[in-house]
Every structure is written in C-alpha cells, then in structure tokens.
Chains A and B, each alone.
Chain A
C-alpha cells in the first residue's frame, strides 16, 4: 500500500530557532502533499497545500513566511517552521493522495515542542 514517511517524529527546539520537517512518499509519486496541524484533543486543520514545481498555497490565517514549504521532488515535501515560538508547539502531519485515490495516506506526525 501507499506509504508516507515523516521525520522527525518529535523535536524540541529553542524559541527563535527554525525546525525542518520532512515528508516522503515511499512507493508512489505525489505532485501534491498536504500539511496539517493538530492541537491536543482537537482535529486536524489544513495548513497548506504543497505543490511540486510551484509555490505552496496556504489556508487563511496561516503565515506563509513562518511556515515555509518546499516540494523539492515528486516524493519529498518539507515544512520549515521559522523563528519558532511556544505557540507553534503542536502536532504536524503530512498527507498525500495515493495513486488509486482510495483514501489519503498520512505520515506518522511530528510532535514539535518549542521551549
């Protein structure tokens, strides 16, 4: 089945530093990937759509200069949280539509804690 790999699974960083999260489709090509954020006991909220070969599109209220997205290849998208602050602490999850379009595949998530 379609597999999406996400790294790291958890990261702790100091306030003001940047953190990069990687999302890879292992056995299929993904021209589009999605980045979600999930706060404790809340559901997934779409942050942005990552497009291979073009700029990412961001949901309303999401700062594109803080959450930099790069879709470097057909199998890799990265999310960089720049100048992280404690309020950016959250669970970040990526997703890609698999080739057969029967259910979107999600990565295992990255727990970001900013101290």
Chain B
C-alpha cells in the first residue's frame, strides 16, 4: 500500500529565504507525482507534475525534483514571499493502471514579512 510522508509538518521562514519541502513515498513504482498548494478553506491548486521518467520540473520560482528509486521528491521555492504562505501537498499516482492520487498530509508554510 502506497504511503506518502511530508516533512516537516510546518515551516516558518523569513521573506526572501529559499526553502525546500520534502516528500517521500514507500512504493517507487509510481506513474507521476504532483505538488499542490492549498489555501485555508479553499481547494487545491496544481503547481507541478513530474512524470516518472522525468527528474525535475520548473515553474517560475518553483522547482520540483524526483528521485524515483529512493522514493523522494523535493519542492524548492526560491526567494519566498508572504503570498507563498499555504499548505503544500505532495501526491502520487501509483503505477499498474491506478488513477487515484495518494496524498501526504502536507507542509504548512508561513513566510514572515
């Protein structure tokens, strides 16, 4: 059974700092991995999707890497801003014909002005 873990559960950084969020998964046979952002009381916004054959994806100040063999992904946020404050969720779709996303519990990020 696939399990996704995100560490740390919460993180507080001063504005302008670069930071890394971690995600690990127990079964390396994944199809793809997605990073989402969730604001309080809101839905999820897809940030980046990495296919299992890819090593990384970039969008603006965000860079996500994937090391499938070790079961790890990182989300790097450059030059953090107060507007980046949110909960960041990592989710994987398993291989072998699965369609469902398996989520971690998220990292709650606070960027202090």
Q: Please say whether chains A and B are actual partners in one complex.
A: no
